[in-house]
Structure 1
Amino acid sequence: MGTLRVALVGFMGCGKSTVGPVLARRLGFEFVDLDLDIQKTAGRTIPEIFEQDGESSFRALESECLARCARRSHLVVAPGGGVVIVQANRRLLRTHFHVVYLRARPTTLAERLRGEAEHRPMLRGHPLEDRITRLLGERGAFYHEVASQIVDVDGKSPEAIAEEISNGLKST
């Protein structure tokens, strides 16, 4: 598996941060939650970065942290759901990672995100299902564009999803 890097992409709530560590353990790789990496780099929480500096500042930090991950190997990275809206990130993902799109139905995402919408800057202050549907509409094509593999996650355990991903890796 040489210098393999796996990136899990998909909308917030699809399970990237839950499946990532399970997959990393299974592959013997390191796991990086990109949002935690960004917070460590910035010394602030993501809501603070959004409030103080705006989304574009957050996206620049996100791109910088993703580029750092692209230079490493034996890594599973879980970026935030919006990482794909920046063209340079999509290029980096396609070039340097086996990208797995964890696809979930909007109803599944809404159920999972209901309790935490107020802590997520992109969801705050909007009717949840409407906001998810709109953002998915904006990002869906980008998730497909970067995906080396698509895994539908509705009703599956993190272990089952990790197994499906690792089986997909063996066939590439």
Structure 2
Amino acid sequence: MQIFLIGFMGSGKSYWAGKLSKEMGIPWLDLDREIERKQGRTIREIFSAQGEEYFRQLEADMLRSVSRDRHEGTTRFSSIVATGGGAPCFHDNMEWMNQHGITVWLNPSIDELEARLRPERAHRPLLQSLSDNGLKDFIKSKIDERQEFYSMAKLELKNTNIAVPAFINLILHAQKPD
């Protein structure tokens, strides 16, 4: 069974995957980085050359290939997967993740996301052209758009300033949806 970290860009998915991995002694991966590694090009280059639909199919295929249960039938976690922000919204990925592990929605406030993303705009293609006001509007709009998928997560964590042992305890007490 896997732990799937979902949420908007800047929510801390890769950060928490690394922390949880170290504490729990299980491997983790960033789905976007894995796609880039296997494709030999950036997400931006994939979007530009083949479009979003092609990327979303790659993402769904990669999610399923890297998330094979290595401990089928046990409650032991075999890996942590930090997904891309849009991954839960396509190709029934959210349903699939809920069937194969524990989904955790990292959901900090819009103000917190804005503060984290403002200095990163140059490195995030979707944000490069946005003004400060435009950034906040973009975040709110995208989260509203993705809410129905994110809210399917087994566990929602609004306070991402939690201690690692407390976070692990929440995960251990979450149960897979029926």
TM-score by length of 1: 0.88
Deviations 1:13-64 (A, max 9, x none): 0000101011011111101111110101111011111111111111111111
Indicate whether 1:167 and 2:169 are aligned.
yes
Work out the CA distance in 1 between the residues paired with 2:32 and 2:17.
13
Equivalenced residues, count: 164
Q: Say if 2:141 is the partner of 1:140.
A: no
- Shift in Å at residue 141 of structure 1? 1.9
- Answer 1 or 2: which has greater helix percent: 1
Sequence identity of aligned pairs in percent? 35
Contact 2:35 2:59 in 1 (8 A): yes
Residue type at the aligned position of 2:62:
C
Residue 108 (1) aligns with residue 112 (2): yes
- TM superposition shift of 1:87: 4.1
Amino acid at match of 1:37: E
C-alpha distance after superposition, 1:98-144 (max 9, x if no partner): 00111111111111111222432333434211110100000122111
Distance change in 2, residues 1:19/1:60 (3 Å): same
Please say which structure displays the higher CA radius of gyration: 2
Pairs within 5 Å for 1:36-47: 36-47=33-44
Amino acid of the structure 2 residue aligned with 1:32: L
Shift of 1:151: 1.1
Does residue 97 in structure 1 map to residue 101 in structure 2? yes
Which amino acid in structure 2 is aligned with residue 30 of structure 1?
A: P
Greater alpha carbon shift after TM alignment, 55-64 vs 129-138: 55-64
Cα distance, 1:164 vs. partner? 2.9
Q: Distance in 2 between matches of 1:55 and 1:117?
A: 20
1:153 to 121, 141, 159: 159
Is 2:10 the counterpart of 1:13?
Answer: yes
Find the residue that maps to 1:54 and give its secondary structure.
helix
Q: Does 1:130 find its partner at 2:137?
A: yes
AA of the residue aligned to 2:97 = L
Offset from partner CA, 1:42-97 (integer Å, 9 cap, x none): 11011111111111111111111100122144100001110111142112111112
> Would you say the 8 A contact 2:69–2:100 is kept in 1?
no
Q: TM-score, normalised by structure 2?
A: 0.85
Question: Contact between 2:104 and 2:156, CA under 8 Å: does it hold in 1?
Answer: yes
Unpaired segments of 5 or more residues in structure 2?
A: 71-77
The residue aligned with 2:121 is 117
